[in-house]
């Protein structure tokens, strides 16, 4: 969708009071419940070229996203954007700012309520909505409101594993349906970077396939499952104990209106 000869790419992230404008990112249009009970959160509809691509629930206290909600349609192409710059959301620090993603140098008070590039020294910028699952608009994922500090090895393992499961297996089972994914974190006050940004102890992804039954081929059914991985070099059971009372989101309903 862009030309290498002359390109004007508009990437926008709109702070909203509800996810109504980007509810298509959620199964049945319903956001997960229980995630806003532990800390103040801000809802962001991530938009590029006037099209909403995914939704983000963001914590200005921890300066990382709580989760990203997005869709995936089976594709033989991997999303890649090796030269994409990492941008920030102006309205998080500057309420009267533009809803276009921007470079920190253009935002008044940049970093007050969100992470900056300098907060990632020694860590990977771990996408919650992975670039590899966005072959059509990979550049839309390059906002620090879609990233968390991840150990390099854990980051590589996590995205290789989750991509392998989703792209190579699950997408071929959810043949006639739509995959709805929510990738989230277990933020921690104990582990921080620069004393500002939470280094999550756990990353997880919940996946739901919503499919219509194909009577001719006998295909199509709803199913769901979840993936979870440590981001700190400690056993997973210990990480949940030190998760600063953030265990509840791991057990909330992902589609509360679904019978």
Q: For residue range 78-104, list pLDDT tens digits in order.
A: 888 889 999 898 889 988 877 777 888
> Is residue 204 included in any domain, yes or no?
yes
> Is residue 242 included in any domain, yes or no?
no
Q: For residue range 191-206, list pLDDT tens digits in order.
A: 899 999 999 988 999 9
Question: How buried is residue 32: exposed, middle or buried, by Cβ count under 10 Å (0-12/13-18/19+)?
Answer: buried
pLDDT above 90 (res 67): yes
> Is residue 211 included in any domain, yes or no?
yes
What dihedral do alpha carbons 117, 123, 125, 131 form, nearest 10°?
Answer: 150
- Residue 226: φ, ψ to 5°: -140, 150
Q: For residue range 11-23, list pLDDT tens digits in order.
A: 456 788 899 999 9
Least Cα distance to 158 among 189, 124, 192 occurs for: 124
- Residue 100: φ, ψ to 5°: -85, 135
CA distances from 58 to 73, 148, 180, 257 (A): 25, 11, 19, 23
Whole-angstrom Cα distance, residue 188 to residue 53? Answer: 28
> Is residue 98 included in any domain, yes or no?
yes
> Is residue 60 included in any domain, yes or no?
yes
> Is residue 5 included in any domain, yes or no?
no
pLDDT for res 215 = 57
pLDDT for res 218 = 56
Mean pLDDT of the chain: 79
Boundaries of domain holding 138 = 23-230
* Residue 144: CATH number of its domain: 3.40.570.10
Torsion 228-232-238-241 (CA) sign? negative
> Is residue 185 included in any domain, yes or no?
yes
Q: For residue range 125-177, list pLDDT tens digits in order.
A: 999 999 988 888 898 899 999 999 998 888 888 888 888 888 877 777 787 77
Q: Could you tell me the pLDDT band of residue 224, with boundaries at 50, 70 and 90? A: confident
> Is residue 168 included in any domain, yes or no?
yes
Contact 115, 62 (CB under 8 A): no
pLDDT for res 12 = 54
Average pLDDT, stretch 239-256?
38
Number of domains observed in the structure of the chain = 1
């Amino acid at each position: 969708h862009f030309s290498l000869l002359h390109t004007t790419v508009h990437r926008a992230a709109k702070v909203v009071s509800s996810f109504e404008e980007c509810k298509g990112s959620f199964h049945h249009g319903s956001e997960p419940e229980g995630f806003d009970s532990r800390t103040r959160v801000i809802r962001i509809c991530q938009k590029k070229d006037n099209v909403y691509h995914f939704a983000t629930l963001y914590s200005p206290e921890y300066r990382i996203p709580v989760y990203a909600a997005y869709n995936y349609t089976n594709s033989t192409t991997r999303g890649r954007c090796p030269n994409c710059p990492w941008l920030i959301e102006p309205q998080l620090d500057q309420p009267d700012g533009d809803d276009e993603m921007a470079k920190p140098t253009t935002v008044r008070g940049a970093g007050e309520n969100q992470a900056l590039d300098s907060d990632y020294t020694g860590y990977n910028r771990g996408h919650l909505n992975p670039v590899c699952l966005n072959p059509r608009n990979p550049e839309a994922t390059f906002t620090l409101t879609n990233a968390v500090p991840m150990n390099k090895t854990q980051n590589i393992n996590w995205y290789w594993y989750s991509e392998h499961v989703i792209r190579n297996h699950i997408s071929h089972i959810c043949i006639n349906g739509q995959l709805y994914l929510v990738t989230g974190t277990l933020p921690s006050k104990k582990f921080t970077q620069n004393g500002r940004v939470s280094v999550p102890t756990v990353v997880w992804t919940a996946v739901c396939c919503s499919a219509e039954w194909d009577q001719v081929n006998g295909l199509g059914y709803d199913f769901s499952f979840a993936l979870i991985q440590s981001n700190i070099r400690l056993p997973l059971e210990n990480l949940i104990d030190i998760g600063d009372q953030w265990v509840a989101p791991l057990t909330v309903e992902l589609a509360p209106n679904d019978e």
